[in-house]
C-alpha cells in the first residue's frame, strides 16, 4: 500500500492506542512484522504540548520511516497548527483522529464526535491538508451511531479534500467497542473512493486478517487490541498472508527475547520509575493467558526497580520453559489466542474494556 510517496513494506498496520502504542511498542510491532504504525494521538491544544506526556508522544527518535503522527481536536486552525508542529518534529504523515470515542476526546467534541458534523469535518481536513506538505490521512468509524451511518459520505469528503488514505474502524461511535464489526460498511467505503482504505476492528488472527481483506477489499488491515501482549501477531499474519501457512507459536526463548528487548527500550524511553509502572500492564498482557505463568503478574507489579522486574520476567519464563519449548496456544472463538487455564483471554473485550478500553486515557496532559 502507498501513502503519498511512501510505499509501505506490507499491508499490516498497528493501530494507534493511547497509553499502549508508545514509541517502544510501535518499534517492537514494526520489528515483528507490522509495515506501518501510527503514533498515539497528540492533542491539538498547544497549551498541552509542553507536558511530559505530549513531549513523549512527539518523540520519534530512531523510529523507522515513515513516521506517522495522529492529531486530535476540533478546531480547524488549531489542527492545522498541530500538523505543522508535528511535521517540524519529524512527522512524515499526519493522521487525523475521527475514530476515538474516548470521553476526554469527545467532551471536547473531537475524535468520533466530529462525524456528526460533516461541514466541520470538511473544514478540518481542508485546513490540515493545506497546512503541511506531507500526506494527511484520516481515521474514522462508520458514523455517529448505527442509524446514521455516514462513513461513505465522510470518505468522499476526505478524498475531495486531498486525504491520502483512510482507516475505517467498522463500528459506530455509539457502539464503542461492543457488537459486531460492520465489515460490509468498510467494503462500501472502499468501493466509494479511490484512495487507499485500511480496514480495522476485531482482527485477531491470521485467518481473520485474510477474511477481512477478502470481505472488504481493503488495501491494508490495522490491528489494535490483539497486539496487546502479542506483538508477534504481525509476523504470524504476514507469514500467513504471504504463504497460506500458519507459523508455529513462538518459542519461549523467542518471546522472552522480544519482551526483554521491549523492556530495554521501554525503560530507556520512560525512565526507571514510570517505566516500571507502565511496564506492568504490558507484562500482564504478555503473560495473562500463558500456561504456567502462575501469579507472575503479582511479581511484576510488586517489582519497584527495572532490575527486579526483569528478574521476575526471567523467573516466569524459566517456569514456562520447563513446560515446553513453545508458548502454549489454544483455539478460541475468533482466532488463535495465547491462552490456558481459567481466565483464558477471550477474543472479545470484557464489558469494562468495551466501555473504556483506554481506561479514560487523556489526550495529552
Ligand atoms: C487502549 C486503546 C487506545 C486507543 N487509542 C486510540 C487513539 O489514540 N487514536 C485512535 O484513532 N484510536 C484509538 N483507539 C482505537 C484503535 O485504534 C482501534 O481503532 C480499535 O481498537 C479497533 O481495533 P481493534 O479491534 O483491532 O482493537 C484505541 C483503542 C484502544 C483499545
Q: Is the pLDDT reported for residue 23 higher than 70?
A: yes
Phi-psi sector, 197: left (phi>0), alpha (psi -120 to 50), beta: beta
Do both 26 and 79 map to the same domain?
A: yes
Do both 71 and 39 map to the same domain?
A: yes
Task: Give the pLDDT of residue 103.
Answer: 62
State CA 177 to chain mean position distance: 14
Do both 177 and 269 map to the same domain?
A: no
Identify whether 333 is part of a domain: no
Q: Is the pLDDT reported for residue 131 higher than 80?
A: yes
Domain stop point among 243, 263, 284: 243
Task: Give the pLDDT of residue 106.
Answer: 54
Q: Is the pLDDT reported for residue 193 higher than 80?
A: yes
Report, as residue numbers or ranges, the catalytic residues: 100
**What confidence tier does 226 reach under pLDDT thresholds 50, 70, 90?**
very high
**What confidence tier does 107 reach under pLDDT thresholds 50, 70, 90?**
low
* Atom 22 of ligand 1, nearest CA residue: 201
Residues 193, 187 contacting (CB under 8 angstroms): no
Contacts of 363 (CB under 8 A, 6+ apart): 18, 41, 42, 43, 45, 48, 72, 104, 105, 108
For residues 43-54, give the mean pLDDT: 90
Pocket test for ligand 1, best of 15, 68, 115 (most atoms within 8 A of CB): 15
Do both 187 and 295 map to the same domain?
A: no
Task: Give the pLDDT of residue 224.
Answer: 98
- Distance from residue 8's CA to the centre of ligand 1 (Å): 21
Task: Give the pLDDT of residue 328.
Answer: 86
Kindly report, residue by residue over 345-354, the tens digit of the pLDDT. Answer: 333 444 444 4
Q: Is the pLDDT reported for residue 166 higher than 70?
A: yes
Domain stop point among 301, 323, 345: 323
Do both 232 and 268 map to the same domain?
A: no
pTM: predicted TM-score of the whole model, two decimal places? 0.91
Asked whether 358 lines ligand 1 (CB < 6 A), one says yes
Task: Give the pLDDT of residue 99.
Answer: 86
* Atom 31 of ligand 1, nearest CA residue: 357
Identify whether 17 is part of a domain: yes
Do both 184 and 311 map to the same domain?
A: no
Identify whether 186 is part of a domain: yes
- Distance from residue 194's CA to the centre of ligand 1 (Å): 25
**Nearest alpha carbon to residue 204 among 78, 311, 11, 338:** 338
User: Looking at ligand 1, which atom is closest to the CA of residue 95?
Assistant: 11
**Domains in the chain, number:** 2
- Distance from residue 40's CA to the centre of ligand 1 (Å): 9
Asked whether 141 lines ligand 1 (CB < 6 A), one says no
Q: Which helix (H) or strand (E) holds 71?
A: strand 68-72
Do both 18 and 165 map to the same domain?
A: yes
Asked whether 225 lines ligand 1 (CB < 6 A), one says yes
Task: Give the pLDDT of residue 349.
Answer: 43
Domain stop point among 243, 262, 286: 243
Q: What is the CATH number of the domain that holds 69?
A: 3.20.20.70
- Distance from residue 15's CA to the centre of ligand 1 (Å): 6
Identify whether 342 is part of a domain: no
Do both 235 and 273 map to the same domain?
A: no
Using only C-alpha atoms, what is the Rg of the chain? 20
Kindly report, residue by residue over 281-339, the tens digit of the pLDDT. Answer: 999 999 988 888 888 999 999 999 999 999 999 999 999 999 999 998 543 434 333 32
Asked whether 201 lines ligand 1 (CB < 6 A), one says yes
Asked whether 18 lines ligand 1 (CB < 6 A), one says yes
Identify whether 353 is part of a domain: no
For 244, counting Cβ atoms within 10 Å of its Cβ (0-12 exposed, 13-18 middle, 19+ buried), the class is: exposed
**What confidence tier does 361 reach under pLDDT thresholds 50, 70, 90?**
very low
Pocket test for ligand 1, best of 22, 23, 43, 100 (most atoms within 8 A of CB): 100
Q: What percent of the chain has pLDDT over 90?
A: 77
Q: Is the pLDDT reported for residue 251 higher than 90?
A: yes
- Distance from residue 224's CA to the centre of ligand 1 (Å): 6
User: Looking at ligand 1, which atom is closest to the CA of residue 227?
Assistant: 26
DSSP string computed for 274-310: HHHHHHHHHHHHHHTT-TT-TTHHHHHHH--SHHHHH
Note down the domain range covering 313.
252-323
Residues 37, 68 contacting (CB under 8 angstroms): yes
Asked whether 105 lines ligand 1 (CB < 6 A), one says no
Do both 265 and 237 map to the same domain?
A: no
* Atom 29 of ligand 1, nearest CA residue: 17
Asked whether 101 lines ligand 1 (CB < 6 A), one says no
Asked whether 345 lines ligand 1 (CB < 6 A), one says no
Identify whether 349 is part of a domain: no
Identify whether 102 is part of a domain: yes
Asked whether 20 lines ligand 1 (CB < 6 A), one says yes
Do both 279 and 236 map to the same domain?
A: no
Identify whether 18 is part of a domain: yes
Do both 82 and 227 map to the same domain?
A: yes
For residues 182-192, give the mean pLDDT: 98
Asked whether 203 lines ligand 1 (CB < 6 A), one says yes
**What confidence tier does 356 reach under pLDDT thresholds 50, 70, 90?**
very low
Do both 144 and 292 map to the same domain?
A: no
* Atom 12 of ligand 1, nearest CA residue: 100
**What confidence tier does 104 reach under pLDDT thresholds 50, 70, 90?**
low
Amino acid at each position: 500500500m502507498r501513502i503519498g510517496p511512501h510505499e509501505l513494506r506490507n499491508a499490516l498496520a498497528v493501530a494507534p492506542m493511547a497509553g499502549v502504542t508508545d514509541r517502544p511498542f510501535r518499534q517492537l510491532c514494526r520489528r515483528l512484522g507490522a509495515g506501518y504504525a501510527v503514533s498515539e494521538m497528540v492533542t491539538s491544544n498547544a497549551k498541552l504540548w509542553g507536558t511530559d506526556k505530549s513531549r513523549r508522544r512527539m518523540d520519534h527518535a530512531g523510529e523507522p520511516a515513515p513516521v506517522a503522527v495522529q492529531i486530535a481536536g476540533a478546531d480547524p486552525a488549531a489542527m492545522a497548527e498541530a500538523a505543522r508542529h508535528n511535521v517540524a518534529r519529524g512527522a512524515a504523515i499526519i493522521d487525523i483522529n475521527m475514530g476515538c470515542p474516548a470521553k476526554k476526546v469527545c467532551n471536547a467534541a473531537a475524535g468520533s464526535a466530529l462525524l456528526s458534523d460533516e461541514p466541520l469535518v470538511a473544514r478540518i481536513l481542508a485546513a490540515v491538508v493545506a497546512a503541511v506538505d506531507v500526506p494527511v490521512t484520516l481515521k474514522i468509524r462508520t458514523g455517529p451511531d448505527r442509524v446514521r451511518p455516514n462513513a461513505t459520505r465522510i470518505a468522499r469528503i476526505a478524498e475531495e479534500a486531498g486525504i491520502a488514505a483512510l482507516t475505517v474502524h467498522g463500528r459506530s461511535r455509539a457502539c464503542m467497542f461492543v457488537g459486531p464489526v460492520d465489515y460490509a460498511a468498510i467494503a462500501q467505503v472502499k468501493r466509494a473512493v479511490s484512495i487507499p482504505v485500511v480496514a480495522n476492528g476485531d482482527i485477531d488472527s491470521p485467518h481473520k486478517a485474510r477474511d477481512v481483506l477478502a470481505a472488504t477489499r481493503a488495501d491494508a488491515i490495522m490491528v489494535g487490541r490483539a497486539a496487546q501482549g502479542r506483538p508477534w501477531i504481525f509476523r504470524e499474519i504476514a507469514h500467513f498472508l504471504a504463504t497460506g501457512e500458519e507459523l508455529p507459536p513462538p518459542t519461549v526463548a523467542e518471546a522472552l527475547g522480544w519482551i526483554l528487548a521491549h523492556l530495554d527500550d521501554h525503560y530507556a524511553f520512560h525512565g526507571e520509575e514510570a517505566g516500571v509502572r507502565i511496564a506492568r500492564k504490558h507484562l500482564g498482557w504478555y503473560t495473562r493467558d500463558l500456561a504456567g505463568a502462575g501469579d507472575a503478574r503479582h511479581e511484576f507489579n510488586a517489582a519497584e526497580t527495572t532490575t527486579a522486574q526483569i528478574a521476575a520476567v526471567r523467573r516466569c519464563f524459566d517456569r514456562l520453559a520447563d513446560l515446553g519449548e513453545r508458548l502454549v496456544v489454544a483455539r478460541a472463538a475468533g482466532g488463535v489466542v495465547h491462552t490456558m487455564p481459567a481466565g483464558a483471554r477471550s477474543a472479545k473485550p470484557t464489558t469494562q474494556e468495551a466501555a473504556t478500553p483506554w481506561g479514560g486515557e487523556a489526550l495529552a496532559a
